[in-house]
Structure 1
Amino acid sequence: MTAVSSTANNESARKGSVLNFDVSPSDIKKTVDRLISEAKATHDAVAAQTNPTFDNVVVPLAMRENKRGADYAVITFLQNVSTDKDVRDASTEAEERLEAFEIESQMREDLYKVVHAVYTNKDEMDKLGDEDRRLVEKMELGFQQSGLGLNSDDRSRLGEIRKQLSELGIKFSRNVNENDGRETFTREELAGLPDSFFDGRETEVVDGVEKYIVTTKYPDMVPVMQLASSERTRRRLMVTNEQRCPENVELMQEAIALRLEAARLLGYKTHAEFVLVEKMAKTPKAVMDFEHDLRGKLNELARGELKEYEEAKRADKKAAGEEYDGLFNWDFRYYANLIKERKHSVNEEEVKQYLPMKEVTRGILDIYQNMLSLRFAKVENPPVWHPDVEMYEVWEAMSNEFVGHFYLDLYPRDAKYNHAAVWPIRSGYAKEDGTHEYPVAAMVANFPKATSSAPALLTHTDAITLLHELGHVFHGICSLTKWGRFHGTQTEGDFVEAPSQMLENWGWEPSVLSQFAVHYKTGEPIPADLVKRMVAAKNEGAGLFNLRQVFFGLFDMAIHDTTDGKVDAKAAYNRLREDVSMFKNGDTDTWGMATFGHMMGGYDAGYYGYLWSQVFSADIADMYASRFLKDGVESPKTGMDYRREILRPGGSRDASVSLEKFLGRKPNNKAFLRSIGLASSE
């Protein structure tokens, strides 16, 4: 990728859009003070309007949202990535203060009064365009769900609950980020792991024996669960992982009770009813019908897969002279990988040799450039929060217009967010002078680092994750909305994953893999036969894998679609996992729900959305392939159709409208069922 030429205006825009992440705790506090002060002034002025209109009420409120976005995002994002504990703590405190202020603002009756006046003014609403009308409707609903229709005592209590929930979520996340587990093992106890796993790995002497330190971070956890032949080793590491953050058990229990109390104050039976009002599913019944229907279909696949796993473990136990005692959760990844290797001769270590991080990243970015008619330029010596972070500018390929920029923070380090996610640091929106603000997104992940003997090498699953998360990045980069609150991934929660899930399909296309899968030593492209075997193995274990997703969704509903505010989350998690996923928990007390960050990070009563949206993503991918595969999955024409109808609108219209615009028909589940090896019943 090379830098591109630009006009003077573009150059000015490019420089002016760069954000500053080099902030101190005192800088963060000053920013919070300023944001709150500016917001209060705006709110007071709006609330004082005696003749409320869209222009003097809704526009100032929405412009305040637009302008505060980047500052707010930067200072609250740093708690996930900064190496400075003081900065992380200041960032966490900033989020607590800002969230508390936003909750207070949503409880202001004087603000609601003027917004409601605009909402109920038919003449005013009739003259608005679609996105402006949607903005007013969302503001009205937001105030209603914040309790502005309640009496003063209930409204005050609701405000207290919202503040408490915000604080609980922040504490929960901080505990997960800062409390990784660790175990020590001998080389013998880690039999099955490749030599590369030990390169540069820290050791310590325990009882006179040198042992390797293994953490619960993804680059350690996943290979051990997949490859360690010792069941005792797998069990130890999984138990350590699932006994992390015991304090989070109580935090989640508090959140469950508070969410139910808030929902009841607002007239809903359960928290799930409250949440689903703004989702595509709309009702808990629709979610439960979806989960149970899918569970029934998946069970057909899973029973056959389970039988194979059982036979493999029985043979292992017999060879070791031990009694077979069943399949446990720590067996899932190991036997899934073992069966895949045996049936399809697909070895993850062999595949990794063809997926060097540098080449995969370059190749995937090139694919996105071609597909979306964009051009990326890597910034040298960028102003970032850590030396590992890369920064890219984004330009229109055809016109050389500046679009925005994104960051890649891809490797693990202490106290960093320990999964993979994308933060929309700045939303795009229409500015008052007629120009458009440039979006910024940051991808954070924890891929393996280089060792003394090899560069950073990815598993195929890692490569799929990279494709997926970059899909979120470019949803934000390619979105073009008038108002920041509708930008990019700010769609219905049960649709937000669909665009990125659709793009995972390219990781299975031979024509795509050939562009970046090359041997890290020889530069030879990945053999066609290996790709063929990988594709053949794609759905191996799909029944059991997707049942685990159903389990997460059913657990979510068990604690949120209930009238029992004291439902035992730990017990529900362990019971449902064993019942739905078909693997036993074992006799050691664990609390895996304590690190289930989705439940405290915005996916409450929404986890079903991963599978729900996957139905749509499969339909999009199927249509994409059937219409344009002959031109290649990077077809610019197809890419522009996808960019125009799926990415550009963001949340400025219903996701169902965007889907039908791209598909040319209503979506269905036929492609999804085929994609996991199930025939459609229709």
Structure 2
Amino acid sequence: MTATVSTAPAKGSVLNFGLGPAEIASIVARLIAEGKAIQDNVAAQADPTFDNVIAQLAMRESEQSAEYGLVTFLQNVSTDKDVRDASMAAEEKLNAFEIESRMREDVYKVVRAVFDNADEMARLGPEDRRLVEKLELDYRRNGLALGKAERERLGGIRKRLSELSILFSRNVNEGDGHEAFTREELAGLPDDYFEGRPTTVVDGVEKYAVTTKYPDLIPAMKLAQREDTRRRLLYAEETRCPDNIPILQEAVRLRLEAARLLGYKTHAEFVLEVNMAKHPDAVLEFEHDLRARLSVLSDREVRELEPLKRADKEAAGEPYEGLFIWDFRYYANLVKERKHNVSDEVTKQYFPMKEVTRGILDMYQEMLGLRFVRVDSPPVWHADVEMYEVWEAEGDAFVGHFYLDLYPRENKYNHAAVWPIRPGFVRADGSREYPVAAMVANFPKPTQSAPALLKHSDAVTLLHELGHVFHGICSVTKWGRFHGTNVEGDFVEAPSQMLENWGWEPAVLRRFAVHHRTGEPIPEDLVERLVAAKNEGSGMFNLRQVFFGLYDLALHNTEDGDVDVKEAYRRLREEICNFKNDSADTWGAATFGHLLGGYDGQYAGYMWSEVFSADMYESRFKRDGVTNPLTGLDYRREILRPGGSRDAMVSLERFLGRKPNNKAFLHSIGLDAE
């Protein structure tokens, strides 16, 4: 069921990504003016009802969201610096207006009047009633129950935090580190790593430029045989964006002050109130329990790595001083290659980007009952970008569309993420607005000798991120604020994490893993070795996630704010991950974008949601068949379709047929539940 091709996008569904700075500024001014007018009108209602207050506010949010999403998205992908700057300025102005809007006492007064009107609330359907409850809670969490002086201070804090978030993101996107190495210093890297790579001549010696972008950084950290090369490159990564350390330090202090103003002990307590976990104590218990369990695995794994490095140091005539942070990926990969004979360089020959993307999209079409149509010559922001329409597999019902921007370039967002640019919702006239999502990644580009080739881990990332795309595309809600991934923060990742499992299913891999030259399918024994190697290093890799979660809480679950963000990062990483820092002054927290990108106080949600994702996979898909369309449609109906229009726990229990538990998760990483 390969995606077909259309010569033009579906009518009425296209966004204009060709905006210039003046157009962006004009849109921002209009959105703010229209928003203020609606809020003024709502606040003036003498007899507040759902229709003349709540629906008006929610419709404004839904209808403006596409333009808001568009003008703020461009900073991550545009090749024009003026456009990126205008997009950042737009986000700052729009965020400031939203903060100001949420502080309007006159608007809260009429929202509260509807909330307190038992007769009005009784006549509402479940999603409308949830909308009223969430709006009222939002206003209270934004300080509308505070006195005037406290409200004004809280508003100032929120505006400053918005500014800091934008600055932090910009520094990460534009602040790549660079190093130059000779070919000998990059021993262990494959020939295609050097194809098209810029070179310089220093003192008569040719050197290759290596950046801290993922397609450069990760292969070098996994394959470069010389320890000093790995050390220098990690140093380049962990000493970029120095301005982000004081930004993060200020953000931590301001978040605590805001939480205290609202009556919470810590920022994490404030954040987690609206998550599935509800309180930091539950998260800390989860993290510390997991750390103890994983440490048993990790200690055993580290003992396997140590002899390898000892032998390397002995061969070089150098003393062994332990395993350092820059050794983590290299020796973990070496163990995997030797124990399971799995090499990224061999494996990637069977994962050409074109075939992998086709195969994964085909699988999602079948599983979710959809049909994808690739748009020919689409109106996009860069020539590399592909645009797809999404239709129901049966009938002619349009569902939405998505974009794929998969290759790195200068000044582009340098990780992998999905932007839900436009939510789906029901317009005032009863017609439906359709969702738009964009996946942005940085997978290896084609070279002169080969097409774009993915590591197996890249294919798993593609499965994960497309999971976010289809969470948005398949969601059907009345209001935009509940659409797609607008769920509890510690459930956002669960659907995508669950779909990563398809990357380890032999039957699935054989559908799209073919040699890029011969077209031969991936050998069965290689698939078996890949699957056997899945949990290799799981203790170390999952402890790294525990470290990020506990570091986040170390910053955001403090009652006095007296934490050194740079020192805490180095100290906790060494304590938890069991790999040493050296004496060099580094600041790895400066590129921990999640802490200024919406995961503050809740990064542990990644691991928390892993529990639910494993349960969904093992209990339904593994049992019924991973490509079973009936299970896929059930998943679409109970998990994806509702979005945030009901509690995530309700969706989980309906899909599972019971309450979730952690047995499948522990089993999936090589541990047994007690």
TM-score (norm 2): 0.99
Q: CA deviation at 1:625?
A: 3.0
Aligned to 2:283: 287
Mapped contact 1:242–1:592 kept (Cα < 8 A): yes
Q: Does structure 1 residue 563 correspond to structure 2 residue 563?
A: no
Q: CA deviation at 1:14?
A: 2.2
The structure 1 residue matched to 2:101, chosen from 102, 105, 118, is 105
- Name the SS of the counterpart of 2:153 in structure 1: helix
Q: Does structure 1 residue 666 correspond to structure 2 residue 662?
A: no
- Name the SS of the counterpart of 1:422 in structure 2: strand
What is the alpha-carbon distance in structure 1 between the residues aligned to residue 532 and residue 666 of structure 2?
A: 16
* CA shift in 2, pair 1:455/1:277, >3 Å: same
Q: Does structure 1 residue 55 correspond to structure 2 residue 70?
A: no
Cα deviation 1:105-145 (Å, max 9, x = unaligned): 00000000000000011111111111111100110011001
Q: CA deviation at 1:4?
A: 8.1
Please tell me the residue identity of whatever aligns with 1:48.
A
Q: Does structure 1 residue 547 correspond to structure 2 residue 543?
A: yes
- Name the SS of the counterpart of 1:160 in structure 2: helix
Q: Does structure 1 residue 464 correspond to structure 2 residue 470?
A: no
Q: CA deviation at 1:2?
A: 4.8
Mapped contact 2:249–2:565 kept (Cα < 8 A): yes
The structure 2 residue matched to 1:362, chosen from 358, 364, 388, is 358
The structure 1 residue matched to 2:610, chosen from 592, 607, 614, is 614
Aligned to 1:655: 648
Aligned to 1:25: 21
- Name the SS of the counterpart of 1:424 in structure 2: strand
Q: Does structure 1 residue 507 correspond to structure 2 residue 507?
A: no
Aligned to 1:348: 344
Q: CA deviation at 1:567?
A: 1.2
Aligned to 2:488: 492
The percent identity for this pair of structures is: 70
Spell out the pairing of 1:597-608 with structure 2 (5 A cutoff).
597-608=593-604
Structure 1 residues without counterparts, runs of 5 or longer:
none
What is the alpha-carbon distance in structure 2 between the residues aligned to residue 618 and residue 404 of structure 1?
A: 28
Please tell me the residue identity of whatever aligns with 1:29.
A
Q: Does structure 1 residue 638 correspond to structure 2 residue 631?
A: yes
Mapped contact 1:52–1:117 kept (Cα < 8 A): yes
Spell out the pairing of 1:398-477 with structure 2 (5 A cutoff).
398-477=394-473
Q: CA deviation at 1:432?
A: 1.7
Q: Does structure 1 residue 535 correspond to structure 2 residue 531?
A: yes
- Name the SS of the counterpart of 2:356 in structure 1: helix
Number of residue equivalences: 673
Cα deviation 1:400-457 (Å, max 9, x = unaligned): 2111100000000000000000000100001122221100000000000001111100
Spell out the pairing of 1:164-563 with structure 2 (5 A cutoff).
164-563=160-559
Aligned to 2:39: 43
Mapped contact 2:6–2:376 kept (Cα < 8 A): no
Q: CA deviation at 1:316?
A: 1.0
- Name the SS of the counterpart of 1:14 in structure 2: coil
Aligned to 2:578: 582
Mapped contact 1:4–1:400 kept (Cα < 8 A): no
- Name the SS of the counterpart of 1:514 in structure 2: helix
Q: CA deviation at 1:308?
A: 0.4
Cα deviation 1:272-295 (Å, max 9, x = unaligned): 010011000010100100000000
- Name the SS of the counterpart of 2:201 in structure 1: strand
Mapped contact 2:5–2:374 kept (Cα < 8 A): no
Please tell me the residue identity of whatever aligns with 1:168.
L
Mapped contact 1:5–1:400 kept (Cα < 8 A): no
Cα deviation 1:337-396 (Å, max 9, x = unaligned): 000011011111110000000000000000000000100010000000000100000000
Mapped contact 2:6–2:373 kept (Cα < 8 A): no
Please tell me the residue identity of whatever aligns with 1:649.
P
Q: How large is the RMSD of aligned CA atoms in angstroms?
A: 1.1
Please tell me the residue identity of whatever aligns with 2:134.
K
- Name the SS of the counterpart of 1:441 in structure 2: strand
Q: CA deviation at 1:626?
A: 4.0
Cα deviation 1:81-114 (Å, max 9, x = unaligned): 0000000000000000000000000000000000
Q: Does structure 1 residue 137 correspond to structure 2 residue 133?
A: yes
* CA shift in 2, pair 1:216/1:2, >3 Å: closer
Q: CA deviation at 1:5?
A: 9.7
What is the alpha-carbon distance in structure 2 between the residues aligned to residue 626 and residue 345 of structure 1?
A: 27
Q: Does structure 1 residue 593 correspond to structure 2 residue 589?
A: yes
What is the alpha-carbon distance in structure 2 between the residues aligned to residue 411 and residue 194 of structure 1?
A: 19
Aligned to 2:150: 154
Cα deviation 1:35-93 (Å, max 9, x = unaligned): 00110110000000000000110000000001000000000000000000000000000
Q: Does structure 1 residue 92 correspond to structure 2 residue 85?
A: no
